[in-house]
Structure 1
Amino acid sequence: MAQVLEFKLPDLGEGLTEAEIVRWLVDVGDVVAIDQPVVEVETAKAMVEVPCPYGGVVTARFGEEGTELPVGAPLLTVAVDGAPEPAAAPAPAPAAQGAGAAADAADAVSSEYSGNVLVGYGTTKPAARRRRVRRENPAAATPAAPAAAAVPAPAAPAAPRGPVAVISPLVRKLARDRGLDLREVRGSGPEGLILRADVETALTVRERPAPAVAAPAPVPAAPAVAGERIPLRGVRGAVADKLSRSRTEIPDATCWVDADATGLMTARAGMNAAGGPKISVLALLARICVHALGRFPELNSTVDTAAREIVRLPSVHLGFAAQTERGLVVPVVKDAGGRTAESLSAEFARLTEAARQGALTPADLTGGTFTLNNYGVFGVDGSTPIINHPEAAMLGVGRIVPKPWVHEGELAIRQVVQLSLTFDHRVCDGGTAGGFLRYVADCVENPAVLLRTL
């Protein structure tokens, strides 16, 4: 006989507790193989295709596209072929025999289970658990009793005493802290799952003051402000939270300088004319940043606010801002200090393409120690960027455009760029920040300066 198994949204790692269904990859009635991707979800980190650990026929899906589900909520159910159904007995089987049959069925489908719920995160085979059985007639599941012992059914069934349909520990904590009994809350999630919004609504209703004596002619409430409401969730929500935390915790300051980038552009043209893979401007700026951080390590650090300590980091993991259709993301080039300009160019290209395709993994988006923000691609000259918490600094690069410039005592048309540095004033003062920015500008104006430290 077939057994229906429930597949829940797995833990996607990196502290993520929820995900939004972007696109279903299977329909009810489809046959799926073990580890076949069945749904594409969007987390606060990246787009992820979730594979199903069971092979069989999809019998149900939970949640429409655009629905946000907490980790542990049901995603779909799959009917898996089990052991052959035993011959029918003339009388109901004893309880022990029923338990043995259920165990045999579970053993029969164990070969249809995969340990890889999500590639890159993994899971183990779940412990045996009770199956939720849906019955059209609840009385049918009760063993038949002798006719003499039959008792009329009560007029009203007792209130259910089963477990509360809550998965998120945050929802439980919110209810516990506010003294709310979750059994009084009606869940709006799949199969009555209680979501955070349900708890907040219940708290609002409970704490709403009793209405005053009705006036003879009550004045209607003012209409809500019209306009489109866009939920802050997914990547947009994660960016909002991170930027808000940065501005709340970090006392930032910004300094900037105009630089003549003609020498840098000439050097790049010479490198590319020599053959081999093309070198990007971003890669050259990254090389300059890495060497500048070696001279000013204060800016490659973070602040442990609890211990009141500055932590200087041993390696440079360079993030770079990338604008995508899903919003702003910051992929990270690991160990940027050990890469050549060719290697940096290739890694920037790979991560940029992955960002455009929505294929970045959480590992690609975490672990940065310093960020390079090339906002010149938007056609602007300057900006005062917000630091990518918990980093200590960010270098902004404006567009490189021809401008009048005094070169060797004469007015000339040169390729000019504005560089800005936003830094955490806790890790250093203006002298260190200015020294870093000036060294970067000197290398941009005269790349030969960089050769002294290679």
Structure 2
Amino acid sequence: MPIVREFTLPDLGEGLTGAEVVRWLVEVGEVIAVDQPVVEVETAKAMVEVPCPYGGVVTARFGEVGEERAVGQPLVTVAVSPEPGSVVPDGAAPEENERPLVGYGVAEGGKGSRRRRVGGPVAVALSPVVVQQPAIAIAVISPLVRKLAREHGVDLAQLTGSGPDGLIMRADVERAIRPVAAPAPVAAAAPVAAAAPVAAAGEVVPLRGLRRTVAEKLTRSHHEIPAATCWVDADATELLALRAQMNQADAPKVSLLALLARICVAALARHPELNASVDLDERGNPVALRRHAAVHLGFAAQSERGLVVPVVRDAQQLSTEQLGAELSRLTAAARSGSLTPAELTGGTFTLNNYGVFGVDGSTPILNHPEAAMLGVGRIVAKPWVHEGQLAVRQVTQLSFTFDHRVCDGGTAGGFLRFVADCLERPGTLVRQL
């Protein structure tokens, strides 16, 4: 007789307490193998495919797309076939067709909790009771849907559900909330004419997952950190020439971002007080400056979920070529949505190359709790005085935003001037290697 096992949302690490269902990867009634991903969820840090430690037949799914699930809440139930000849008493610890989720915060059990895996999918007939179990789960309206309806005064009894068996979904409630624009009334005495269009009501988009985390972090940064910004224009012609020379060799190409990252690391070696954060007491008052030994370099990268900041760990230990390889890997992961929570946290300094958006300058909000951020605008041909002569040079604008609690304007200006010197005279950088 198959045993129905319940798989709950595991601890995804990084202090995360829940996740939003993005996409189901299995259907009810589908046979799955041990460790097969069953659902894709979005946490406050990244997109994650969650594998199920049970092999068998999916008998129920819990959570609609867009619904938040807390750690420990059920995701799926799976009918698992006992091993031939085994007797599983009621309440016994699961052992068959399952394995612990390595790397998902699942603690190993004590004595007698060893798990083993059998090869191949389950190939036994299921009783009708097990197969019919999903129909019972499907009939229940999600608590989040009920809460949404209650908050907006929507009577669920008046709605027609668009889900399986008429189940009322989140989208059904949102449609009921959204007001319908009516045509403007026309005065009886006025000649017949087209009614003036009525402005459509604005859309309310809930902040979830990464967007909510970013919003909370930026709000905290803006309220908590007294930030200041300074600028300087720099001639990047020689740096571009150096890059072209480096890329003539039969070796992996060096990106401009990799050179900028190398310059940041060198500048932080000269000004280590900027690779820092501020410790606060329970009242939110600053009590200490924490200077970090390692440079965990964050950089802005575009993804389908918006702008994210992947982190290059121990950037001070990497060569320019290694920096380029890691930046490329993380950029590709950002575009594919496969960045892990660990790759999006723990930065100590951020490089923001907003020039890729075609803009010259910016006054960014610091990436809390970091103390500084270097911004690089687009590189564009401009008239420039070079060696006493007017010439057309490749010029960029650099901006440096810093936490004024960590340093004064002199330190910030020294950092930014060193970065500009490295762009204009790349030989300056060689002295730092």
TM-score of the superposition, structure 2-length normalised? 0.78
Cα deviation digits, residues 116-148 of structure 1 (max 9, x gap): 1x64544435999xxxxxxx9xxxxxxxxxxxx
Q: Secondary structure at the match of 2:262?
A: helix
Counterpart Cα distance in 2 of 1:14 and 1:336: 22
Distance 1:346 1:84, change over 3 A: closer
What's 1:249 paired with?
224
- Aligned partners of 1:74 and 1:347: how far apart in 2? 37
Over 3 Å counting, the alpha-carbon distance change for 1:433 and 1:121 in structure 2 is same
Is 2:277 the partner of 1:302? yes
Q: Counterpart of 1:111 in 2: which secondary structure?
A: coil
1:351 aligned residue? 330
Provide Cα deviations, 1:21-79, integer angstroms capped at 9, x if missing partner: 11111100011111111111111101101010111110001112222212111111111
C-alpha contact 1:322 1:355 (8 A) present in aligned 2: yes
SS of the aligned residue for 2:247 comes to helix
Amino acid at match of 1:102: D
The 8 Å contact of residues 62 and 190 in structure 1, kept in 2 or not, is answered as no
Paired residue total: 364
Q: TM-score, normalised by structure 1?
A: 0.74
Letter in structure 2 aligned against 1:251? P
**Amino acid of the structure 2 residue aligned with 1:110:** E
Give the Cα–Cα distance (whole angstroms) in 1 for the partners of residues 413 and 76 of structure 2.
56
2:5 maps to which residue? 5
Q: The residue matched to 2:90 in structure 1 has which SS?
A: helix
Quick one: distance in 2 between partners of 1:75 and 1:276?
47
Q: Once the two structures are aligned, what percentage of the paired residues are identical? A: 65
Cα gap change, 1:422/1:111 in structure 2, threshold over 3 Å: closer, same or farther?
A: same
Counterparts of 1:127 and 1:399 in 2: how far apart (Å)?
61
8 Å CA contact 2:10–2:104 kept in 1: the answer is no
- The separation in 2 between residues aligned to 1:345 and 1:100, in whole angstroms, is 55
Q: In the alignment, which residue of structure 1 is the partner of 2:56?
A: 56
Q: Distance in 1 between matches of 2:145 and 2:408?
A: 43
Instruction: Give the secondary structure class of the aligned counterpart of 2:381.
Output: strand
Pairing of 1:315-326 with structure 2 (within 5 A): 315-326=294-305
Q: One-letter code of the match for 1:287?
A: R
Q: Does 1:112 align with 2:85?
A: no
Q: In structure 2, what is the Cα distance between the partners aligned to 1:232 and 1:413?
A: 46
Query: Which residue matches 1:102?
Result: 90
Secondary structure, counterpart of 1:45 in structure 2 = coil
Match of 1:228 in 2: 203
1:379 paired with 2:358, answer yes
CA–CA distance in structure 1, aligned partners of residues 252 and 362 of structure 2: 31
In structure 2, the residue matched to 1:209 is none
- Counterpart in the other structure of 1:41: 41
Q: Distance in 1 between matches of 2:96 and 2:15?
A: 31
Picking from 396, 421, 424, the partner of 1:445 is 424
Spell out the pairing of 1:141-152 with structure 2 (5 A cutoff): none
The offset of 1:408, in angstroms, is 1.1
1:28 aligns with 2:13: no
Question: What's the CA shift string for 1:383-409, capped at 9, x where partnerless?
Answer: 011110010000000001101111111
Q: In the alignment, is the contact (CA less than 8 A) between 1:114 and 1:125 conserved in 2?
A: no
Alignment partner of 1:413 out of 392, 396, 411: 392
Question: Would the alpha carbon gap of residues 102 and 440 (structure 1) be closer, same or farther in structure 2, given more than 3 Å must change?
Answer: same
Aligned to 1:390, what secondary structure does the other structure show?
coil
Kindly report the root-mean-square deviation, in angstroms, between the aligned alpha carbons of the 2 structures.
3.1
Corresponding position of 2:118:
none
Q: Secondary structure at the match of 2:45?
A: coil
Change (3 A) 1:244 1:388: same
User: In the aligned structure 1, how far is the partner of 2:340 from the partner of 2:272?
Assistant: 28
Supply the distance in 1 between the matched residues of 2:146 and 2:296 (Cα, whole angstroms).
38
For 1:18, the aligned partner's letter is G
What is the CA deviation profile of residues 213-268 of structure 1, one whole-angstrom value per residue up to 9, with x for unaligned ones? xxxxxxxxxx9992111111111111101101110110000001000000100111
By how many angstroms is 1:295 displaced?
0.8
1:85-100 aligned at under 5 Å gives the runs: none
Q: CA deviation at 1:113?
A: 2.3
Alpha-carbon distance between aligned partners in 2 of 1:264 and 1:372, rounded to the nearest angstrom: 17
Letter in 1 for 2:211: R
Output the CA distance in 2 between the equivalents of 1:191 and 1:31.
24
Query: Secondary structure at the residue paired with 1:245?
Result: helix
CA distance in 1, matches of 2:325, 2:222: 33
Q: SS at the partner of 1:273?
A: coil
| Residues 276 and 348, structure 2, Cα contact 8 Å, conserved in 1 | yes
Corresponding letter in the other structure for 1:419: L
Written as runs of structure 1 = structure 2, the 5 A alignment for 1:36-435 is 36-82=36-82, 101-103=89-91, 106=92, 109-116=94-101, 119=103, 121-125=105-109, 198=147, 226-306=201-281, 308-435=287-414
383-392 or 193-202: which moved more?
A: 193-202
- How far residue 100 of structure 1 moved from its aligned partner, in angstroms, is 8.7
Larger Cα-atom Rg:
1
- Assess if the C-alpha contact under 8 Å between 1:115 and 1:124 holds in 2: yes
Structure 2: any 5+ residue segments left out of the alignment? 113-128, 130-137, 154-180, 182-198
Q: Contact (CA 8 Å) 1:9, 1:71: kept in 2 or not?
A: yes
Q: Contact 1:318/1:370 (CA < 8 Å) preserved in 2?
A: yes
In 2, are the aligned partners of 1:259 and 1:444 still within 8 Å (CA)?
yes
Question: Residue 74 of structure 1 contacts residue 190 of structure 1 at CA under 8 Å; is this kept in 2?
Answer: no
- Contact 2:375 2:399 survives alignment (8 Å): yes
Structure 1 distance, partners of 2:368, 2:46, is 18
Partner SS, residue 368 of structure 2: coil
Please give the alpha-carbon distance, in whole angstroms, between the structure 1 residues aligned to 2:204 and 2:318.
44
